[in-house]
Homo-oligomer: A and B are copies of this chain.
Amino acid sequence: MPRPVVALLTDFGLRDHYVGTMKGVVLSVCPEAALVDITHDIAPQDVFSAALELAASYRYFPVATVFVAVVDPGVGSARRALAAESGGYYFVGPDNGIFSFVFRESTPTLVVELRERKFARSTISHTFEGRDRFAPAAGWIAKRTPLRSFGPPIDNHVSLEFPEAIVSADAVRGEVIYVDRFGNLITNIAGRLLAEPTSRVAHVTDRGNIRIVRTYAAVAAGELCGLIGSSGYFEIAVNRGSAAALLNVSRGARVEVFNAPMPGSP
């Protein structure tokens, strides 16, 4: 059996002991697990961004990696807890849509509700199910406990809608869905919607005719560009700078990719 991997994604931050405590629990169940952080700096309660980040990263992990994703505004309430298998990977977390964009790429073969008490800690805090319910479940899945042991299959898990880009004759219209640490503006416009992207130009809000290139370094330092980013989505960037700062825009900003430069645009 290959070495099990447990990857964690939360909005817990790294200031407090919460993530470390979850890891202690995983290792208590499955001492041989390799633990990897995806990120813990999802904005508090931002399930949508968590779902995006998980979908952008999971397929780069070893097959059978167990992902425990806890951005959970409903912690302690009656919202269900899930475990799922999708695309050869395992997922553990709250039933609030956090796995939506993984499942959009690869329909889950099984989703179960986490109900079996013996795979949770003996006391379950109403404010920290990450520690008492999700981390131990991840540990048991890493030890190859079959998903069906955790509870009954369900087929009505919560799903978030992906904001689809709109394709028309002259342009593809979308929006910024994520701003990364470099200030790159990642959109909902899939690269496959843009044949010959470098023949096109992009607009962001009222800023027009942004060149589309293949690499950041194709434009001068400080200059705006558009390109297909590492997750396959169109993004707006500034070479050696921050597009978010330069354009002063954030999530939800309108982005359009036109088939040809707009005459008279600035």
Contacts and interface: CB of A to CB of B under 8 A. Distances in A.
Interface string A6-21: 0101001111111111
A116 interface: no
Interface stretch (A72-80, A106-114, A153-161, A252-260): A72-80
Interface stretch (A97-105, A167-175, A211-219): A211-219
Contacts of A41: 14-15
Contacts of A74: 217
A24 interface: yes
B227 A127 contact: yes
Contacts of A23: 36
B61 A27 contact: yes
A217 B78 CA distance: 10
Nearest to A29: B62
Contacts of A20: 7, 9, 36-39, 57
Nearest to A56: B17
List the number of copies, as a whole number: 3
A34 interface: yes
Contacts of A34: 27, 31, 35
Contacts of A2: 31
Contacts of A127: 215-216, 227, 229-230, 235, 237
B39 A14 contact: yes
A24 B75 contact: no
Contacts of A12: 181
Given A126-B228, A127-B229, 14 more contacts: A9-B20, A14-B14, A15-B41, A17-B39, A17-B57, A21-B38, A24-B58, A24-B65, A27-B62, A35-B36, A73-B239, A76-B217, A127-B237, A131-B230
